[in-house]
A and B are shown apart, each in its own frame.
Chain A
Amino acid sequence: MDGITRRRALFISTALVASLATAACGGAPAPAGDKAGGVVTITVNGMPAATQAADRKDFEELVKQFEAAHPKIKIDAREGQMDPKTFAAKLAGGQLEDVYYVYFTDPAGLIQRKQGADITPYLADVPYLSDIRPELQKVFKDKAGKTYGLPTGNYSMGLVYNRELFRKAGLDPDKPPTTWEEVRAAAKKISALGEDTVGYADYSKNNQGGWHLTSWLYSMGGEVAAEENGKWKAAFDSDAGRKALQTLHDMRWTDRSMGTRQLLEIGDVQKMMGSGKLGMYMAGPDNIPTIVKQFERKYEEFGLAALPGTATLGGGDGFMFNPKATPEKIKAGLQWIQWKYLNPDREEENVTKFSGLGVPIGLPQPNLFAGAAQQKIQAVHAAHANVPQENYKPFVDRSPQVEVKVEPPNAQQLYTVLDGVMQSVLTKEDADIDTLLKDAAARADSILATVK
């Protein structure tokens, strides 16, 4: 019986309502110290947590350097990023940072709800803007071409694999799979090693299943959503959709190479990889340092291959601006973002400093720039690389043949729907793929009908 202590749950819903209410009644306080003596103070987030002592120290040092170089700007740095759980309350209560960190999934919705400032008028003064890859800039633009933020990081999905398990299973770690048939065969061999070894794992919980299924669909030549006469429609009830799900189903139930535990999310799978029990999983290059750091592994143990097929999902992060920020603050914020995150001129200095401190140099991404700026950065990275470049060669070499596609509109809502599809295939041996796709497409259509 749990009637009484179930009030914990009541507390959650009350807290939700309460936070909404306080959020709704709090007004924006006057910006203090906005222009005291011509000095602009801006709040920015994205500062590493105090628990990551080394990263935090570096960040604080960079703030000092920036302030020394820009005497008219003061940086008030905060931890964290755009968190959907607190974002609306912070915005309503006047607590939202002037410059805030977002993932590529967020800008479209934030722009549509007018929760980010239009920074188009201030972009003329931003150096290297034209060198930033246009497809990444597009994430922060609305239909009219106005800009609401800048990208500062990006990734595209590939296959992270355990080179040691490849060797043990009689596979060549320098020649990872390039087709899904080869992935399947490799996964089978790895799981045949026994001792709870899993050949391939994938997510299926908390929207991450939908996120990865999107990448599967792209890889099979399909789409999640498509625009027809200005209206968005679900596009995954297709051959690509069937092929993706059938492959997952067969790996899970025919080959039994995906383990028995499902409803996984990113942390679970990284743990499996970190404990040496997993052969392959779909991920961006940025996953490798996370696993190495968190589970005290070595970079040499992991390889990275491009995703099979013709396309993959790409995402990333960047910064947007408080809709209530003054022009001065926006200008100051842009200077900070450019100086800290989009600065080929400082690359040499940064890399020299960080390469000795265990910061990974030489991973294939982020790849923010194109042309001369990118070549400059790459040359610096190659000279100071402290991670095994040859392990990422399969990814880098095949990348030009794999198109990088961004996330669909209303991505998070769609991912919830696709989560269910992914879960069904991975937890039900007799899952009816056609019906699953048809039902999910009907739900996705109603979600896409709200896209403006």
Chain B
Amino acid sequence: MSALPTPAAPATGRARRLRENLVAYLFLSAGLICFALFAWYPIVRGVLLGFQQVTFAQPAEWVGLDNFRRLFDDPLFATAWRNTGYFTLLALVFGFAAPFVTAVVLNEVRRGQSYLRLTVYLPVMLPPIVTMLLWRWFYDPGPGLFNNVLGVLHLPAQQWLESEHLAMISLVLVSTWANMGTTTLIYLAALGGIPGELYEAAELDGASIRRRLWHVTIPQVRFILMITLLLQVIGTMQVFVEPFVLTGGGPNEATVTILLLLYRYAFVYNDFGLASAMSTLLFVVLGLFAGLYLRLTRTKD
């Protein structure tokens, strides 16, 4: 047997490898085609639409940066970003602490834990529209639950959804209530993974509950906290259902969010170019957060 490979040998080697992997490539291509068709093509198309004026009755017309210019001219554009930022911030204040505290408490409870887990998760299972109608009644300034409770406590009734100052906070409360179940379960799983010896050691050292939480629990779940924080930023920036159903963006545009404005552009004004320009901008911003998320998860691996 000759030690020197003939010139044809690497080619046949490659061809053989290709043949061997052909089935694998075939399987892979089905998935890739689906992805291309239903995920990548729409994204590319959506970005292109942002540079076009489309009526669908005539061929699309290229308008360059016109749509983006018109976006920046709309005074609501800034309002929507500001409102969305405010919502995200509030969602972090309310929504970041609540599920963590719930998870820590649930983790300590020894009896009826599965029942409690179910109750915490229950709101996630409700269809969003049911949740909204329920909360609409909670917030009703007349016979609503919250104002009735305030009345019993001899506190003044509030205009939950009708006051510019309260409306966004009210929306964040709905959103937090409706969505915290999932995150609570993730935290519970993370808490369950903390080795019991760490707590035992801390207890032997005489650490109080607060110190155990601060020096054992939080460092152990720090990574999960970071990931959920990022996912929450990405998620809450796309808030839509709550303002759409409960306030329609009011009062006086105090709850107009990016997606709500995008919806108006597309489906009220029938201006798909403008809507696509807006979604492209949102896509870029969310892309930054998604990149950060990927980076974080990769370093952990």
Contacts and interface: CB of A to CB of B under 8 A. Distances in A.
Interface of A: 1-10, 12-14, 16-18, 20-25, 84-85, 87-89, 91-92, 109, 113-115, 196, 204-207, 259-263, 265, 323-324, 412-413, 416, 419-421, 423-424, 426-428, 442-443, 446
Contacts of B184: 1
Nearest to A113: B55
Given A21-B41, A92-B56, A2 B232 contact: yes
A295 to B, nearest CB: 18
Contacts of A23: 56
Contacts of B259: 9, 12-13
A263 B238 contact: no
Nearest to B278: A13
Nearest to A22: B42
B262 interface: yes
Interface of B: 38-39, 41-43, 45-46, 49, 54-58, 60, 73-76, 91, 95-96, 98-100, 124, 128, 140-143, 157, 159, 161-164, 175-176, 178-184, 186, 228-236, 238-241, 247-253, 259, 262-264, 266-270, 272, 275-276, 279, 282
Given A3-B230, A6-B235, A84-B268, A205 B42 contact: no
19 contacts: A2-B183, A4-B231, A6-B234, A6-B235, A6-B236, A16-B279, A17-B279, A20-B276, A24-B45, A24-B49, A84-B270, A88-B54, A91-B57, A114-B55, A261-B162, A323-B57, A412-B268, A419-B250, A426-B162
Contacts of B183: 1-4
A207 B250 CA distance: 11
A113 B228 contact: no
A261 B46 contact: no
A3 B157 CA distance: 32
A262 B99 CA distance: 32
Given A3-B183, A416-B264, A446 B276 contact: no
A96 B272 CA distance: 17
A114 B57 contact: yes
B143 A420 contact: no
A115 B235 contact: no
B252 A423 contact: yes
Nearest to A84: B267
Given A84-B270, A424-B252, A4 B179 contact: yes
Given A1-B228, A4-B179, A13 B279 contact: yes
Given A92-B56, A114-B55, A413-B269, 9 more contacts: A1-B98, A1-B100, A6-B239, A8-B128, A8-B241, A24-B56, A412-B268, A423-B250, A428-B252
A260 B141 contact: yes
Contacts of B238: 6, 9-10, 12-13
A300 B235 CA distance: 52
Contact of B99 (A1, A16, A416, A419): A1
A6 B231 CA distance: 9
A21 B46 contact: yes
Nearest to A196: B142
B81 to A, nearest CB: 15
Contacts of B176: 1-2
Nearest to A106: B270
Given A6-B179, A114-B55, A14 B42 contact: yes
A421 B163 CA distance: 14
Dominant secondary structure of chain A at its interface with chain B: helix
Contacts of A89: 56
A115 B54 CA distance: 11
Contact of B142 (A260, A419, A424): A260
A191 to B, nearest CB: 12
Q: Which of B56, B76, B178 has the most CB of A within 10 A?
A: B56
Nearest to A114: B57
Contacts of A442: 75
Nearest to A23: B56
Contacts of A205: 247-248, 250
Q: Which of A1, A426, A446 has the most CB of B within 10 A?
A: A1
B251 A428 contact: yes
B240 to A, nearest CB: 5
Contacts of A204: 250-251
Given A18-B38, A205-B248, A7 B267 contact: no
A423 B251 contact: yes
Contact of A263 (B100, B162, B232): B162
B46 A17 contact: yes
B185 to A, nearest CB: 9
B140 A427 contact: no
A442 to B, nearest CB: 8
B251 A263 contact: yes
A244 B43 CA distance: 46
Nearest to B47: A17
Contacts of A10: 234-235, 238
Nearest to A117: B57
A7 B251 contact: no
A197 to B, nearest CB: 11
Contact of B269 (A4, A206, A412): A412
A204 B240 CA distance: 19
A5 B122 CA distance: 13
A365 B240 CA distance: 38
Contact of A262 (B38, B73, B251, B276): B251
A89 B266 CA distance: 11
